[in-house]
Amino acid sequence: MTALRCNVADLLHHQAARRPVHLETDGTDFGAVGGTRLDADPLVIDVVIERVPDGVVVRGTVQGVMTADCSRCLRPITRSFTWNVNELFESHPLEGQTYQLEGEEIDLELPIRDTVLLGLPLMPLCTTDCAGVCPQCGIDRNETTCSCNNNPTDARWDALSALTFDD
Ligand SMILES: [Zn+2]
């Protein structure tokens, strides 16, 4: 039994019944994608659980704080996020699309975990136009202009830009 398990018996017996649910849990339990992970700040889940013909729908938001190192300049990033949750729990779930209604209970852990893993950026950036670290001299180009700035692109990528692709 996890902290995010909810009994929905009251909803199952009334068509179109709905109930708001507010939960908080430790963000660090939710793993990491690459170097991006959730902060120890609580992960706050605000959803409405609603009875539908096939089971219950969970709609709302999950809010938290992520930390990472910028994938270009390696500076630490701390950023809050709000992601939407909109998931169906049913007795006979479709693999990868809906979640298991277990008798009169649902476990929000799996959909929240999926939402977090999909939401965390694979290549976090401190700013969208982060200039990154010079691949030649290692200087942080956000702070200073490096002596090799005449050729800011990494020569190792030249072969890639010369490639052409047929349809
Ligand atoms: Zn950066």
User: Ligand 1 centroid to 35 CA: how many Å?
Assistant: 14
Q: What is the pLDDT of residue 167?
A: 63
Mind listing the pLDDT tens digit for each residue in 128-167?
A: 999 998 888 888 888 888 777 555 555 566 666 666 767 6
Distance from CA of residue 86 to its chain's centroid?
14
Query: Torsion over CA of 6, 12, 15 and 18, rounded to 10 degrees?
Result: -10
| Interacting residues of 160 by C-beta distance below 8 A, sequence separation 6+ | none
| Interacting residues of 141 by C-beta distance below 8 A, sequence separation 6+ | 73, 131, 132, 133, 134, 149, 152
Name the residue with higher pLDDT: 154 or 57. Answer: 57
Q: What is the pLDDT of residue 1?
A: 43
- The residue extents of the domains of the chain are 5-119, 131-167
Please work out, in degrees rounded to the nearest 5, the angle formed at the alpha carbon of residue 103 by the alpha carbons of 99 and 107. Answer: 45
Name the residue with higher pLDDT: 98 or 37. Answer: 98
User: Ligand 1 centroid to 123 CA: how many Å?
Assistant: 10
Share of the chain above pLDDT 90, in %: 53
Mind listing the pLDDT tens digit for each residue in 12-49?
A: 988 889 999 999 988 887 877 777 888 878 899 999 99
The Cα–Cα gap between 43 and 18 comes to 23
- pLDDT band (50, 70, 90) for residue 64: very high
User: Ligand 1 centroid to 119 CA: how many Å?
Assistant: 19
User: Ligand 1 centroid to 160 CA: how many Å?
Assistant: 23
Query: Which of 59-68, 106-115, 131-140 comes out lowest in average pLDDT?
Result: 131-140
